[in-house]
Amino acid sequence: MSAAVNSGKTITPNFKHRLDGDLSSPRQLADIIGGMTFRAKGILDLVSVNLGAGDKASDDIVQAAVMAAIEELNDIQAVIEAFHDVVCNQPTPMAGGEK
């Protein structure tokens, strides 16, 4: 992800902190995806518990939590595509034609 700034410079944040390792082997890929899946499931578990609770979180908080889980799933897809691109040495075709 990069963004153009008024000065004409491009900002490219380093999101390596989102990964629990590197992508040098299928085993490490599985470990990274496992951690990401665990985070997404944790968020959705909290939302589902909230739906049955007496004191419910606000709609804004529930929406933010669901969006966080969706973004985690998008991150999983991006990690798998990056791994595929390196292993197969070709770009991954996106499901639904998005990229």
Mean pLDDT confidence for 4-29: 76
CA–CA distance, 82 with 7 (Å, rounded to integer): 30
Q: Give tens-digit pLDDT for 29-69.
A: 998 999 999 999 999 999 999 988 888 999 999 999 999 99
β-bridge pairing 10-11 and 3-4 = antiparallel
How many Cα neighbours within 13 Å face the side chain of 98? 5
Indicate the pTM of the whole model.
Answer: 0.72
